[in-house]
A and B are shown apart, each in its own frame.
Chain A
């Protein structure tokens, strides 16, 4: 068990460019979550998957944001036409329903996006 990994760890992009982030969950975890966190705030929920199905999508996720988990394993989060307001830490987490720790989420290190 190597934990949740995210790539890249840092991304600097110019406004208007598209960016894509990848998340690899813990191998047996069937749920995968994306959050956005800005400085001094708690994580804001963006979306989650159960296996390959995207079950919930926040209103924060505008039509410029899309997420996929095509084979129920890794996931990608794409932001099109980035804006300076998209600058944040993007966190991925995964979980599995397991008794007393039901759906306890394990977080990756995050991808820090800076839009210039």
Chain B
């Protein structure tokens, strides 16, 4: 698998349900970031979690990081139709914190 690989590739849920997306990576990292991209648009920064943090919250978002397993999860609670988008995790490797490596993303569809 490639650095910053998300799964599942696609996720379809009903409004009000929770959505969980996972990200795995290969090398040691400084930070891990999650971004959202609406179809044909730019990326919106959601949250950054540092390598020495295990969990972080922002509104309806909850991110966890397990550096021993080289994995992260993004939980969106009480989903809304407006959450429909692609979600990407991005990692920056130790020693080059400016170079973000993105996976192919998880396409989340929230049905009203």
Physical interaction between A and B: no
Seen from chain B, the residues whose Cβ lies within 8 Å of a Cβ on chain A are none
